[in-house]
Amino acid sequence: KREEPARPGLLGRLVGRGGAKPVVRRTLDDEMLESLEELLIASDMGVETAMRVAANIAEGRMGRRFSTEELKELLAAEIARIMEPVARPLPLYDRKPQVVLVVGVNGSGKTTTIGKLAAQLRAAGKKVIIAAGDTFRAAAVEQLQVWGERAGVPVMTAPQGADPASLAFDAMTRAEEEGADILLIDTAGRLQNRADLMEELAKIVRVIRKKDPTAPHNTILVLDATTGQNALSQLEIFRKMADVTGLIMTKLDGTAKGGVLVALADRFGLPIHAIGVGEQIDDLAPFDPEEFARALVG
């Protein structure tokens, strides 16, 4: 019987494949450390984080011999250690309504994520309202309405091109009147005109603060795992426009393993509230550092 060669994971290429063959051990030397750094960089971890992770693996272990499996375990443990502190679900407050602003570039999965989140919150017994704040994209508003129906959550809309801030204000009023627990506000994601977008987001915040000076209570940035290192620059950009308090990374069900999340956690330490693992309504999962680390290491 012929053995199928195991698909090489992150480390398979480094020390050889495991499987049925006898366990191969190689000495952890400078050359191997350099290869490890390169592999980590190639996984979208970014140079700085990759170097730090490799250095932590190397510490006290240079010159010793390791099999692929042993190295994988070390690496997964190191990555899980970095990710542990940021794995935090969306905090729920007693404040009514808790205002959650959702930002991110178009196509990142914002609409889908709001739909999934609304469904989860509703299932947890929360009364939720969605405001379709991307008033320029008619298709986005329609999509959000579809998601609202699926989630059993009302979606407030405004005519195309209407001021998103005034919609946000009306949504605050309705949420207060109806005693809603959570108001999810979608926002535009046109990075082509950053000055406009920044002004738009700032105005939404100003207006909802007229109703509640402590709002928004959360500003979630939605990032697409398949964009790799772009996620870092998107966070930089949105942090300048809004007070981002947490992240949700979508499309982790595909080939993208989300190595950039390690860089994000290492550099910014923002909570990762959840991850998107598909296009269906229940495809929003809590972020599990160990599972994530194991999948990344392969």
- Is 109 marked within a binding site? yes
Token pair listed for 134:
């991307």
Nearer to ligand GDP, 19 or 107 (CB): 107
CA-CA distance, 42 to 36, in Å (whole number)?
10
Q: How far apart, in whole angstroms, are the C-alpha atoms of residue 24 and residue 125?
A: 53
Which of residues 39 and 155 has its CB atom nearest to ligand GDP in the complex?
Answer: 155
143 binds ligand GDP (CB under 6 A): yes
Annotated binding-site residue? 170:
no
The verdict on whether residue 211 carries a ligand-binding annotation is no
Residue 53 known to bind ligand: no
Please tell me the distance from the alpha carbon of residue 140 to that of residue 113, in angstroms, as a whole number.
13
CA distance 123 to 181: 13
Spatial neighbors of 126 by CB under 8 A, at least 6 apart, are 92, 181, 182
Residue 110 binding ligand GDP, by CB under 6 A: yes
**Residue 49 annotated in ligand binding:** no
Which residues 181-200 are close enough to bind ligand GDP by CB under 6 A?
A: 189
Size of site (CB under 6 A) for ligand GDP: 20
Q: Does the protein bind ligand GDP through residue 279 (CB under 6 A)?
A: yes
- Structure letter (DSSP) for residue 279: S
- When asked if residue 140 is in the footprint of ligand GDP (CB under 6 A), the reply is yes
Helix 230-241 vs helix 194-211: crossing angle, to nearest 10: 50
Residues tagged in the binding site annotation = 104-111, 186-190, 250-253
Q: Rule CB under 6 A: which residues touch ligand GDP?
A: 104, 106-112, 140, 143, 189, 250-251, 253-254, 276-279, 283
